[in-house]
Amino acid sequence: MFMTIIEVIAFIILSLGAIFIIGILCSNSVNSNSARKISADDFNKIAVALGAIATVAWGLFTYGALEQRDKAKAELIDLKNRIKDTESTSFEVEAPFIKGDGFFYITPTVTVKNNSNTAIYVKLDQDSLSVTRVVAKGDQPIPLETFNPIFYQTITKEGKAPLSNITIPIGAERKFNYLVQTNYPGMYYITFTASAMDSSGNLINKTYDGKPVKWFSSAYVYLK
């Protein structure tokens, strides 16, 4: 439906006014000495009134259609710009590791490059980074244990300060560094997910096929 509520109300009022005018015109044509008869002139008057109603209706319909078209066009342009910005933003996971005496340190690093024409705002969750030790049975990975390290802004004797809201300016690059210790060699699957925010820090809740849309990157690393 193209017509808004206000437009529908206006159309109803105009239609009622037109009908009222038709009634007056028809009443004026009544012969005082006989029953009411509608002459050809009356039909012309009715046709003119109905034509006016149709003209108003078509005008409202056309206005609403053009308004919806312009709105859809603006939304399409905005969507294209968002897609372009998303394609210009990259998230890459790397997972170097250090072998100790009977243990391993995995140091996942997420590199974010913003090559778009607008700043991006990243929301990290406690499980944004996931490090899972896996084995494979055929083409099916089987999880054995999972770690969810947190990204810290500072780590001092006084405490640790996690960082969850990160702004990446236009043309900038940021690295998120994590640390996981494990005693087991083998294959590890590392994933990174993050949500997008607007400049006010509000989450941009987009869905596709009923699932939330998030930034994602992953990598495998084999410890030996």
* Average pLDDT rounded to a whole number, residues 69-74: 73
Chain centroid to Cα 193, Å, comes to: 17
Model confidence at 91: pLDDT above 50: yes
Model confidence at 3: pLDDT above 90: no
The CB density around residue 27, as the number of other CB atoms within 10 Å, is 9
pLDDT band at 32 (very low <50, low <70, confident <90, very high): very low
pLDDT of residue 202: 86
pTM of the predicted protein model: 0.60
What does the radius of gyration of the chain's CA atoms come to, in whole angstroms?
Answer: 34
Does 1 or 106 have the greater pLDDT score? Answer: 106
pLDDT band at 24 (very low <50, low <70, confident <90, very high): low
Report yes or no: 150 and 75 within 8 Å, Cβ to Cβ: no
Collect all residues with Cβ–Cβ distance below 8 Å to 209 and sequence separation of at least 6: none
* Average pLDDT rounded to a whole number, residues 2-25: 61
Query: Tens digit of pLDDT for each residue in 40-55?
Result: 565 566 666 667 666 7
pLDDT of residue 33: 44
CATH superfamily of 89-223: Intracellular proteinase inhibitor BsuPI (2.60.40.2360)
Model confidence at 98: pLDDT above 60: yes
pLDDT band at 203 (very low <50, low <70, confident <90, very high): confident
pLDDT band at 116 (very low <50, low <70, confident <90, very high): confident
Collect all residues with Cβ–Cβ distance below 8 Å to 191 and sequence separation of at least 6: 93, 129, 130, 132, 216, 217, 218
SS (H, E, C) 87-142: HCEEEEEECCEEECCCCEEECCEEEEEECCCCCEEEECCCCCEEEEEEEEECCEEE
Domain layout of the chain by residue ranges: 1-27+39-85, 89-223
pLDDT band at 58 (very low <50, low <70, confident <90, very high): confident
Residue 78 to residue 76: CA distance in whole angstroms: 5
Residue 145 to residue 132: CA distance in whole angstroms: 6
pLDDT band at 65 (very low <50, low <70, confident <90, very high): confident
